[in-house]
Amino acid sequence: MGIHYLHEIKRTPPLETLIAHAGGSIYGIPYTNSLEALNNSYMNGFKLIELDFHWTTDGYPVCIHDWDSTPRWLFMNTSRQYSLEEFLNKDTLLNLTLLDLNRLEQWLIFHPSIYIIADIKKDYIRLLKYIKDHHPKIQHKFIPHLYSFHDYEYIRYLGYSYVIPALYNLATSDTSLFHFLEGNEVFAVSMPLLRALTLLPRNLYYLNVPSYAHTINFNKTLSTLKANKVTGVYTDYLRPNSIQSIR
């Protein structure tokens, strides 16, 4: 008998060809994870938006790709980990508006068609529990990346109905992945480009498991991946209205 999961979500996120990477680009700039990037991605027809999450020094989740190099160009300042107050009030490139979970919650409430692919860089189980405890209204909007097969049961127990095994940070063979997929439900499997050019996407297709490659910014590469049975891609610059759907 399997585990009974609480808080099952009845609505199913859409399988889209394109996922906006790091919020999507804004003014031609990728990796901002900003409010303006979200608005731009929404206007361009995205339904799935990937965001990067890190912890502040005082223990709050915020949307930023990393603390190592991003602050140098985003804040035009020294790279280091910031507090929540510093993060939200820092001068930013082109006056971009940065996001914590409070700002993200308000945005998601007014954009009910959007789902967030959560790429949580550190202590991801703790952050998923934080969302459950402090932002239950939007928990169903999150599809977390899975970085360990051992965490799957607990993530489902927390109330996340959909996960994406992220092979860029999940050291596993194709055989081990297939074994995991035999008894567990996932939204999709994500993988770097080189792995997406192997037989893995075709084998996943035959198992009826969607696959996504990252990060892809050229239509020619997208076409090659589509021919290899990849469902879609994470992208900075491609737009849903400019490509042919492969759903």
Which regions of the chain does DSSP assign to beta strands (E)?
18-20, 48-55, 61-63, 115-120, 142-146, 164-165, 189-192, 211-214, 232-235
What number does CATH give the domain 18-239?
A: 3.20.20.190
Tens-digit pLDDT profile for residues 172-199 = 999 999 999 998 999 999 999 999 999 9
Predicted pLDDT at 122: 93
Predicted pLDDT at 243: 62
Identify the residue with better confidence: 241 or 74.
Answer: 74
Q: Considering the entire predicted model, what is its pTM?
A: 0.92
C-alpha pair distances (Å), 121 with each of 55, 76, 180? 9, 22, 23
